[in-house]
Amino acid sequence: MAEHIVASTPVVADPTPFTLPETQRRVLRWTLYVGYAALTAGIFHGLAQALSYAGIDILGYFPALRSYYQGLTAHGVANAIIFTFSFANAFLPLMVARALSRRLDDRLLWASFGTLVLGNLLVIYAVVTNKASVLYTSYAPLQAHWTYYVGLVFVVISTWLALLNMLLTWRGWKRENPGVRMPLLAHISIVSYVMWFLASLPIAVEFLFFLIPWSFGWVERTDPLLTRTLFWFTGHAIVYAWLLPAYVSWYALVPRQAGGKVISDSLTRLVFILFLLLSIPTGFHHQYTDPGIHEGFKFVHAILTFGVFFPSLITAFSVMASLEMGGRAHGGRGLLGWIPKLPWGDPSLSAQLLAMITFVFGGITGLINASFTMNQVIHNTTWVPGHFHMTVGSAVAMTFMGVAYWMVPYLTGRKLWGRKVALASNWIYTIGVLIFARGMASAGLEGMPRRTFLVQAPYMDPDWLVGRILTGVGGTLMFVGIALFFVVIVMTIWKGKAGEAPKDIPWSETLIEPAKNGWATRLDRIGFWVIVAIILIVIAYGPFFLSYLPPNYVSPGFRIY
Amino acid sequence: MKVHTYERAFMILGGVLLVLCMAALVYATVALGIHLPGRAGEIEPAKVFTTPPFDNPGVHQTGPNQYDVVIIGQAWRFHPSEIRVPVGAELNFIATTFDVIHGFHIEGTRVNMMLIPGQISRLTYRFREPGEYLIICHEYCGAGHHNMYGKIIVE
C-alpha cells in the first residue's frame, strides 16, 4: 500500500487511516437503523400480499389494518422509499468522508437525520390512520391527507441535505488538495446523489405545486395525467437512485471483500456519469399504455431506456472481472473454478454475490418491460412486481443487507453476531425471491393483475394456479430471510462483542489506475455533466410539456379507501 | 482510457445487442403495426355519461366487420361489464373514466390501457380466437378495486 501513499492521485480512497468522530458515527448509525426498521416493518404486509395471491387471507390477523390497500401502501413506502433512502443517507456520506479522510458537517448531518425522522412520523401517522391508502405512487385523483405528501417531501429534503453535506466535504477537500483528482469512491458516491437530486425535482414540483395545495383544499381540482407524468419523470430515475449505492459497493468495496481489485478507475467513473445522463429521460416507459402522450414521445424514451441498460452491461463485466481476480487469488482454476473459491462464508460478500445473480434476471425482465410491444402484454400484471423484486427487492435490498454486515459493526464497534444466521438469511431470501418472482412473472404473463386483493376478487383464472402457489411459497421464504436479518442486526447492536469490529471500510485498490491527464479526467467535472443531463432531459420531455401545458385541472379529490 | 480487450469486445457486443433490440421494436411498430395508445382527445370526467360517444357505451358497428367498443370505467365497475364481439372483426376500443384512474386489460391480449380522468384512450385489436376473456381493472382504484372486472365474449 506504500506506493499509494506517495501517489499524488489517491486511488479509491485516501489510504491514510481515518475514523469518523463518534458523534458523527452515532447519527449515521441511527439513520441506518431507521432504514432497517422500515424494511422489517414493511415485510409483514409483503407476506400478506404473497399469501393473498396464493389464496390465503391472513389480513384477519392484522387487527389494526383497515384494508389490504392500506397495508400495500405501507409496504411500498416503507420498503421502497424509507428503507432505501435511509440507507443511502447513511452510506453515501460515510463513503465520501472515508474516501477523502475528512469529517462531515455536523449540523447538516443532524438536519438530514431530523428531516428524515420528521418525514417518517408524518407518513406513519397518515398511513396508520388510513388517511393515505393511495399506494406509494400517489396517483391523483385518489387523494391522501396532507401529512402524507408533506412527510414524503421531508424525506426527500433529507436526501438533499445528505447531498449538500457530501458536496461541502468535497469542496473543503478540494481547497486543501488543489490539482489532485478526487478519489474514485468519493466521485461515484457524489454522482449517485447528484443524479438523484436532479431526478427528484419533478416529484418536488408534483407535490409542492399540485398535490399539497390540493390536499389542503386550497385548489379544488388537479390534473391526473400531468401529476402522473411528473411522478414517472422522477419515478424511473428513483430506481437508479436505489441501485447506485449498491453499485458503489459492488465496484469499490466488493472487490476487496472478494480478494480482487477495481478493474478500471476511468471506466467506473464513466459508468456513473452515464447513469447521471441517462437515468432520468426514460420515464415514459412506465406510461406506454397511457392516453394523452404521443406515441413518438414514448418511442424516444424507449430508445433511451435501452441506452441506460448499457452502463449496467459494463458493470456486469467489470464487477465479474473483479470477482474472478479474487477467486483466482484464492486458488481458483479453470474457466469457472474461481467461483466456488470466492469467500462465500463472509455473509457480507455472499449477500452481494447472490444479489448480483438475481439481478441478471431482473435486468432481462427489465428489457422486456422497456420493449413497448411486449410491455402491452405485461403492464400492471404481477409480471412487474416479479421483475422489481429481482431488482430493488434483491439486487438493492440484499446489497444493503450485505453492507450492514460490516457497516453496523464498523459504526457500533461491535462484532457481527451470528455469522451463520446471516448466511442462512442470505440463502433463504435468495431462494425465496427466485421462487416468488418466477410465480409472479409466469402468472403475470397470463394476465394476473398486480396491486389487487386477489383472494377476495370475484374472478379467477385457473391458468394462474401454479404461479399463485409459487408466489405464496417464495414470499414466505422471503419473509423468513428478512426476519433472520433483523435478528442478526438487533443482536449485533445488543450483544455483539465490543471491540472486535472492522476498523476501516473494505475499500479496494484499482488494477488500472486513475488517468493523470486526457479526457478521462473530465469525468470529475460533475457540474458540466449535470448540464449535459439537463439538455438530454429537455430533449426527452420538452416536446410533451410544450404540447400539453397548461394543466388540465379536471379532477376533484377522491378518498374512496 | 485504457480498456481491457475482453471488456472492449463485451461492450461492443452489448451495444450491438441493444441496437438489434431497438431495431426489432421499430420493425414491430412499422411493419407489424403494433401501436400504443396516444393522444386521442380530452373529455370532462364529470360529464362523461352525457358526452358522445360515452353517452351510449357498448358495441356499435361502424363498417363491414368494423366496430367501436365504447367503455366507461367507474369505481368499481365497467360500463358495460359484459361485451359480445365477432371473431376477426376490427375492434376500436374507446374508453375513459368517470372518477379515478382505472386499468383496462383483456387478459392474454395486448389490449392494455390506462383510463385517466380527462383523457380518452384508444386502441385497435382483432381477436383471432373465439372464447370468453376476463377484462380486469389492473390499477388500484380504491377499497373495492378487486371487484372491478368484466367479460368479453368473442364468437
pLDDT in tens, A364-413: 999 999 998 899 999 999 999 999 999 999 999 999 999 999 999 999 99
Domain match, B87 and B122 both:
yes
Nearest-Cα distance to chain A for B155, in Å, is 20
> Model's pTM, two decimal places?
0.95
Instruction: Report whether pLDDT(A56) > 80.
Output: yes
Residue B47: Cβ within 10 Å count: 11
A54-83 CB burial, b ≥16 within 10 A, e <16: beeeebeeeeebebbbbbbbbbbbbbbbbb
Determine the pLDDT at residue A10. Answer: 66
A495 has pLDDT over 90: yes
Question: Which of B21, B35, B116 comes nearest A225 by C-beta?
Answer: B116
SS3 A414: strand
Query: Binning pLDDT at 50, 70 and 90, where does residue A17 land?
Result: confident
Quick check: A504 and A421 in contact, CB under 8 A? no
Distance in angstroms (rounded) separating the CA atoms of residues A437 and A470: 8
Peptide bond connecting A202 to the previous residue in cis, omega within 30 degrees of 0: no
What pLDDT shows up at residue A342?
97
What number is the average pLDDT over the span B22-29?
A: 90
| Higher per-residue confidence, B93 vs A9 | B93
Taking CA atoms, A488 is separated from A28, A424, A425, in Å, by: 19, 11, 9
Q: Give residue for cell 438523484.
A: A196
pLDDT band of residue A8 (cuts 50, 70, 90) is low
CB contact under 8 A, B118 and A225: yes
User: Closest by alpha carbon to A298, among A280, A285, A281?
Assistant: A285
| Average pLDDT taken over every residue of chain A | 95
d(CA A119, CA A313): 36
Read off φ and ψ for residue A511, nearest 5 degrees: -80, -55
Whether residues B15 and B53 fall in one domain: no
pLDDT of residue A493: 96
**The B82-85 sheet, strands edge to edge:** B82-85, B149-154, B131-136, B102-106, B112-115
Catalytic: which of A102, A145, A256, A389? A389
Q: Looking at chain B, which residue has its C-alpha nearest residue A457?
A: B146
B90 inside 8 A of chain A by CB: no
Residue A331, CB-side half-sphere exposure with 13 Å CA sphere:
2
Nearest to A186 by CA among A310, A102, A263, A110: A102
For residues A323 and A258, the answer to whether their CB atoms sit within 8 Å is: yes
Pair B21, B71 in one domain = no
Q: Which of A67, A70, A223, A317 is best to mutate for the B interface (most B CBs within 10 A)?
A: A317
State the nearest Cα–Cα gap between A149 and chain B, in angstroms: 18
* Strand-strand pairing, B90-97 and B121-125: antiparallel
Percent helix, percent strand, percent coil in chain A, to nearest 5: 70, 0, 25
Predicted local confidence at residue A64, as pLDDT: 87
- How confident is the model at residue A9, as a pLDDT? 59
Give residue A3's pLDDT. Answer: 36
Chain A residues inside the 8 Å CB shell of B42: 292, 552
pLDDT digits (tens, 9 = 90+) for A505-532: 999 999 888 888 888 899 999 999 999 9
Q: How far apart are CA A341 and CA A198, in angstroms?
A: 41
Cell numbers of A60, please?
384477519
Pick the residue from chain A with its C-alpha nearest to B145. Answer: A452
Digit-coded pLDDT (tens) for A461-482: 999 999 999 999 999 999 999 9
Residues B53 and B128 in one domain: yes
pLDDT score at A368: 93
**Do residues B76 and B98 share a domain?**
yes
Q: Does residue B95 sit within a domain?
A: yes
Q: Is residue B24 part of a domain?
A: yes
Of A132, A224, A453, A217, nearest to B99 by C-alpha is A224
Instruction: Work out the percent of chain B whose per-residue pLDDT is above 70.
Output: 99
* Cα separation, A236 vs A275, whole angstroms: 12
SS3 A454: helix
Task: Let me know if residue B129 belongs to a domain.
Answer: yes
A315 burial level (CB within 10 Å; 0-12, 13-18, 19+): buried
Which of B28, B38, B107 comes nearest A373 by C-beta?
B28
Q: Is the pLDDT reported for residue A1 higher than 70?
A: no
How far is the alpha carbon of A112 from chain B, nearest alpha carbon, in Å? 33
The whole-angstrom distance between B138's CA and the closest CA on chain A is 5
Complex ipTM above 0.90? yes
Same domain, B67 and B6: no
At A66-75, the pLDDT tens digits run: 999 999 999 9
Distance between CA A404 and CA A502 in Å, rounded?
12
Question: Is B111 domain-assigned?
Answer: yes
Please check whether residue B39 lies inside any domain of the structure: no
Q: Are residues B143 and B84 in the same domain?
A: yes
Question: What pLDDT score does A5 carry?
Answer: 36
Does the beta carbon of B30 lie under 8 angstroms from any beta carbon of chain A?
A: no
Is residue A450 part of the annotated active site? The answer reads yes
Per-residue pLDDT reduced to its tens digit, A155-182:
999 999 999 999 999 999 999 998 899 9
- pLDDT, average across residues A138-158: 98
Residues B54 and B23 in one domain: no
A48-57, A308-317, A426-435: which has the minimum mean pLDDT? A308-317
Distance CA A513, CA B16 (A): 28
* Helical H segments across A139-264, by residue range: 146-176, 184-205, 212-216, 224-235, 237-248, 254-258
Bridge pairing between strands B149-154 and B82-85: parallel
Q: Which of A98, A102, A236, A256 is catalytic?
A: A236
- The C-alpha atoms of residue A514 and residue A506 are separated, in whole angstroms, by 19
The answer to whether A265 touches A259, Cβ cutoff 8 Å, is: no
Q: Residue B119 falls within a domain, yes or no?
A: yes
CB pairs under 8 A between A and B: 212
Task: Give CA–CA dist A421/A348, Å, rounded.
Answer: 12
Catalytic hit among A154, A193, A240, A544: A240
Q: Which of residues 47-76 of B touch A (CB under 8 A)?
A: 75
> b/e per residue, A355-364, with b = 16+ CB within 10 A?
bbebbebbbe
Same domain for B29 and B54? Answer: no
Residues B22 and B53 in one domain: no
> Distances from the Cα of B121 to the Cαs of A65, A291, B13, in angstroms?
35, 5, 39
Residue A464 one-letter amino acid: W
Residue A83 has pLDDT above 80, yes or no: yes
Cell representation of residue A370: 422497456
Q: DSSP letter at B154? A: E
Q: Is A240 a catalytic residue?
A: yes
Q: Is the pLDDT of residue A499 over 90?
A: no
Residue A509, SS3?
coil
Over residues B60-80, mean pLDDT: 97
Verify that B11 and B61 share a domain, yes or no: no
Whether residues B52 and B119 share a domain: the answer is: yes
* CA distances from residue A521 to A34, A50, A311, B25 in whole angstroms, order as listed: 37, 49, 19, 37
Residue A362 predicted with pLDDT over 50: yes
Which of the pair, A287 or A14, is modelled with greater confidence? A287
Structural contact between residues A190 and A96, judged by C-beta atoms closer than 8 angstroms = yes
CA angle B79, A144, A280 (to 5 degrees): 90
CB contact set of B8 (below 8 Å; sequence gap of 6+): none
HSE, side-chain direction, 13 A CA sphere, residue A547: 11
In 10 A of CB A334, how many CB atoms?
Answer: 8
Question: What residue of A is the nearest CA neighbor of B29?
Answer: A373
Q: How far is it, in rounded angstroms, from Cα A235 to Cα B55?
A: 36
> Any CB–CB contact under 8 A between B131 and chain A?
no
What does the DSSP assignment read for A239-294? HHHHHHHHHHIIIIIHHHHHT--EEEHHHHHHHHHHHHHHSSTTGGGG-TT-SSS-
What domains appear along chain A, each with residue ranges and CATH number? Answer: 16-548 (1.20.210.10)
Output the CA torsion A7→A12→A15→A20 (10° steps): 140
- Report how many domains make up chain B: 2
B118, A555 contact by CB (below 8 A): yes
- Nearest by CB to B120, which of A291, A453, A561? A291
Host H or E run for residue B59:
strand B58-63
Strand partners, B92: B68, B124
Residue B3: the pLDDT is 82
Catalytic residue from among A328, A451, A453, A553: A451
CB contact under 8 A, B114 and A289: yes
Residue B82 covered by a domain: yes
* Close Cβ partners of A545 (under 8 Å, ≥ 6 residues apart): none
When scoring B22, B36, B104, B123 by the number of chain A Cβ atoms within 10 A, the one with the most, hence best to mutate, is B36
A444: left (phi over 0), alpha (psi -120 to 50) or beta: alpha
Closest by CA position to A163, among listed A188, A185, A192: A192
CB contact under 8 A, A371 and B75: no
Measured in residues, chain A has a length of 561
What's the domain range around B70?
Answer: 45-154
CATH of the domain at B94: 2.60.40.420
CA distance A234 to chain B (A): 19
Closest to B146 (Cβ–Cβ): which among A139, A372, A454?
A: A454
Residue A142 has its nearest CB partner, among B35, B100, B137, at B100
Distance between alpha carbon A541 and the CA centroid of its chain, in Å? 24
**What percentage of residues in chain A have a pLDDT greater than 70?**
98
Residue A45 appears among annotated catalytic residues: no
> Is residue B40 one of the residues assigned to a domain?
no
Query: Under an 8 A CB cutoff, do B100 and A560 touch?
Result: yes
